[in-house]
A = this chain, B = another copy of it.
């Protein structure tokens, strides 16, 4: 029964042998320097309970002189929350991507939250890994995923990790969606009002819910008319390529509706190369109103989506869910606005 180690509690040994990096200064160092206990240091730093002013000053001075920076991971572990939300995005192209993040980031900062971003995930496996890598570091998630993935994602998720979806359709989670269908219908009315009948549509990826709803709006408006749908993937390149097929069509359409602005920009460029005047010979319209849209030539008629607002609302709903876990599942819709610029014109003002 002789214990091989000392019976007396040994003083906390600062480092184990195999550590690599230089020791960072911890709350214990500050406590030692200030001549108080770690509890007191913690109290001072978190301004939670009453500490004598003199003690407070000593602690603060010690912390400052040692350049103490609390280890947020340790704190998160202890209090079981991190004041951080995770953002998981698929491989989203360019500006949309950064606008969403910006929206969340700005909102988060106001509430003293931090964000942890992971983007460019092409498949479900990768997304799963990312989610795993976030467990313990985030209090909740904002997820944008091709909706085929949502279900399998759920399974890899720690239970009870609140999550808000962007532009996906799942019954069990709060979600913020764009009024894609309504926006597409509005754009189609605009084109119809200009006299266009033969309207081509460049689609986004089929796995994307936004993409599908925009397509649905196009189809609904084209009931009875002959549709021309070219498959795209939301990149400028796809828009550029699609134009070749559209120009070859007989009868040739008089307007092109791209499922997002990036593709519309690509289309404009291809039309210019082909010597086709926009909007006199061909109208081109997009969707999203990304920042560049007003600066292309001619400026792009599009459907404005407040992308940053999308992020902001997602964050708001997430925080709400964090505060009241039992509240019912909320789903919000972001309305859209038709922005008429120079890339769309009356049909028949051809040469």
Contacts and interface: CB of A to CB of B under 8 A. Distances in A.
Interface stretch (A127-135, A144-152, A182-190, A209-217): A127-135
A158 B292 contact: no
Interface string A164-183: 00000000000000000000
Nearest to A269: B295
Contacts of A116: 116-117
A118 to B, nearest CB: 7
Contacts of A109: 126
Interface of A: 19-22, 24-25, 67, 69-74, 76-77, 80-84, 94-95, 97-98, 101-102, 105-106, 109, 114-120, 126, 130, 132-137, 155-160, 236, 240, 265-266, 268-269, 272, 291-292, 294-299, 325
Contacts of A132: 69-70, 72
Contacts of A137: 72-73, 137
Given A73-B82, A84-B133, A265-B295, 10 more contacts: A22-B160, A25-B159, A69-B156, A72-B137, A77-B77, A101-B119, A105-B120, A114-B130, A114-B133, A269-B294
A70 B115 CA distance: 20
Q: Which 10 A-B pairs have the closest CB atoms?
A: A71-B136, A73-B136, A117-B117, A297-B297, A269-B295, A22-B160, A114-B133, A73-B73, A69-B135, A236-B295
Contacts of A266: 295
B159 A24 contact: yes
B72 A160 contact: no
Nearest to A325: B21
A291 B160 contact: no
A130 B73 CA distance: 14
8 contacts: A20-B80, A24-B160, A67-B158, A69-B156, A71-B136, A72-B136, A73-B77, A94-B292
B105 A94 contact: no
A265 B236 contact: no
A160 B299 CA distance: 50
Contacts of A295: 236, 240, 265-266, 268-269, 296
Given A67-B159, A295-B236, A105 B118 contact: yes
Given A24-B158, A97-B98, A119-B102, A77 B71 contact: yes
A156 B68 CA distance: 9
Contacts of A136: 70-74
A291 B159 contact: no
B21 A67 contact: no
Nearest to A66: B159
A155 B67 contact: yes
A101 B102 CA distance: 14
A80 B297 contact: no
A97 B92 CA distance: 13
Nearest to A132: B69
A242 B292 CA distance: 17
B268 A297 contact: yes
B269 A297 contact: yes
Nearest to A72: B136
